[in-house]
Amino acid sequence: MVGTPIKHAQMAVLNDVGEDTVLDYIATGMSVRKLVAKIGIGNRAFYHWLNDEPGRKARYRQAQERQARFLAEECIEIADATQDAAQAQVSKLRIDARKFMASKIDPERWGDQKGPLVNMNISVGGTHLNAIKDLANAPVVIDQDKDEE
């Protein structure tokens, strides 16, 4: 393949930077896009590097979960730093973007929780009416032993 030497050279750059450093960048909110630009490699090399060593992708996933927590905490800091109404709209946009990313990175913790769909429409009047109809249509049983006494 033509791009393989380049990809391997870029993966070597990532190895030189170090897995801990790369994952710390991710955990502290840096996007993969900014990370690869900072290091000077391509996206494909980064994702090949993730799959190159067993367990690295799981450690990357843990770094993403820390990143989601970081983004959620950053929302509070942005909201607390907002001083006036003119700044509020910009702050809201920044908060919404971080909330969106946190919910996509770690939906179990930061996504919208959807409960089970249960239809609880019970008509008490309709239930009583059905019971009366059942009684009216029930066969009448006469206890003949009672009549003879």
* Tens of pLDDT, residues 19-45: 999 999 999 999 999 999 999 999 999
Please, which pLDDT band fits residue 111 given cuts at 50, 70 and 90? Answer: confident
Please, which pLDDT band fits residue 116 given cuts at 50, 70 and 90? Answer: low
In the prediction, which pLDDT does 1 show?
A: 52
For residues 113 and 106, give the distance between their C-alpha atoms in angstroms, rounded to a whole number. Answer: 12
Estimate to the nearest angstrom the gap between the alpha carbon of 33 and the chain centroid. Answer: 20
Mean pLDDT of the chain: 85
CA dist 96 → 14, 99, 133 (Å): 32, 5, 56
Measured CA angle at 3 (ends 9, 39), to 5 deg? 40
CA proximity to 105, closest of 73, 70, 55, 79: 70
The pTM of the full predicted model, rounded to 2 decimals, is 0.67
Residue 114 in tokens: 């959807």
